[in-house]
Structure 1
Amino acid sequence: MTQDRLFSRQAGASLLTVLLVLVVLAALGAAGWWGWQEFTRLKSEKSSLADQVTTVKGELASQRAQVQSALSGLEKEQAKLAAQMTKDRAALTDLKSGGQRLWLINEARALASLASQRLLLTQDALAARRLLKAADETLARLDDPAVLPARKALALDMETLSGASQVDVQGMVLRLGALRELVAELAVPAEASPPERDTPDVDLPWWQDVLDRMPVTVRRHEGAVPLPLSGEQASLVRLTLDGSLQQAQLALMQGRAEAYGQAVENARSTLEQWFRDDDPRAAQMQATLKEMGGASVAQALPQIGNGLAAIEALKRKEGGA
């Protein structure tokens, strides 16, 4: 009995020990599985955190680049503003120290140039003189002896315009245009057509009858001028007269007195040489050209420019200073 009990106790102790070992092993297995799961989860979270850190770093780098670009643009704007302020300050200093002087000289130069152009285009001496007077008044605002030579030259030009005879140049141009309209009506000595013969004249040699029927008429001219003229020659003479009148118009509009006188003389010579003396229109045109040729266009169209040249010299001197 005693041995059986002892055996039973030993068997129970062994079984308990096995159970304890199994329980411990199960606990260790459960703990290992849980630990592995936690390790896997932590590893995944770490990888996700690493990706987030990389994204955040990229965003920070982009923001840093944008900030640097904005700072660079701001620095450029500040530099530009500083340069503009320096330029404005220099312009203000120049204006205080004499910039207004150069501005007034430029204004006077523009007025003198406009006066020359006005006289050339419209032959309006009074308007050109008013422009020169405005240029002189502009220079007078400088109150500086250095501008006296330019003012003296302007005064000379103004006196030249004041002394110009008041010839109606525009009216003369219109009168020449009216004469050009009459050229087509002037009578030119023209040759007559030879009489037609239906039958040959027995009293004339046969070769004379052949010559009379030819389109070209053989004629001798004993005078210096080959008159009468053919139709083509008469048209050419009219074109020559019209061209001389047109040259006279152009010379008047350009203020070239010598060229105007030569063109009028050429027109008178053409009339006298080629057109019939008994034509009242030709006689009227001769009288008109004689009257217009005697007009003092040299004084009516004076040459100015001394004042403009003196102002330009003054401007170059100021620019060099």
Structure 2
Amino acid sequence: MPETDPAAPAAPPAPPAASRAPSRMATLVLIAVLLAAGLAALAWYDTRGRIAATQDELARRLREIESDARDARSVARTAQEAVREAQVRLGQLEGRLAESQSQQLALEALYQDLSRNRDEWQLAEIEQVLAIASQQLQLARNVRAALLALQLAEARLARADRPQFAPIRRALARDIERLKAAPMVDFPAMAMRLDNLIASIDSLPLAF
């Protein structure tokens, strides 16, 4: 077995640059991976935050839309109730108007009936007064009593103030003037005119 020479030089060590190069590369790769992972994490976090913010915004807008929809439905219900109330009130007013019109028609009919009855009463009174005047002239030849009767009849017709009574009033006025001119009055002719005047009263139109 050969002996080693202690004086022989030792083998030179491997150069360090070759052994450190892979280590640096791995470190750089690791750093790059970590940076990429960090950036990805930041991007994911930012995206998640944006998504969450978008979801919150959508939820807020949805709540606002739902609130607006509730308000709109409430307003619509209020409007419908107001329309129904207005329709009810309109129906009540129409009913009252119809009732008022019916009452007005009834009052007008009653007024016409009263007017006709009043005219009939007045004409009946005038006929009676003229009959008295005719009798006073025919039987008693009492010009004064006949004149008073004719003046009374003319005054009542004047108070009535009906256009249809105008012909009778004119005839009475002429007879009153003739009676005032007595004793030249033709009593039979005057009595006949009064009888004709009484007969003409029945043909007068009444108020409507």
TM range (shorter): 0.3 to 0.5
Structure possessing the higher relative contact order (Cα contacts under 8 Å, 6 or more residues apart): 1
TM-score normalised per structure 2:
0.44
TM-score normalised per structure 1:
0.30
Higher helix fraction: Structure 1 or Structure 2? 2
| Structure (1 or 2) with the larger CA radius of gyration | 2
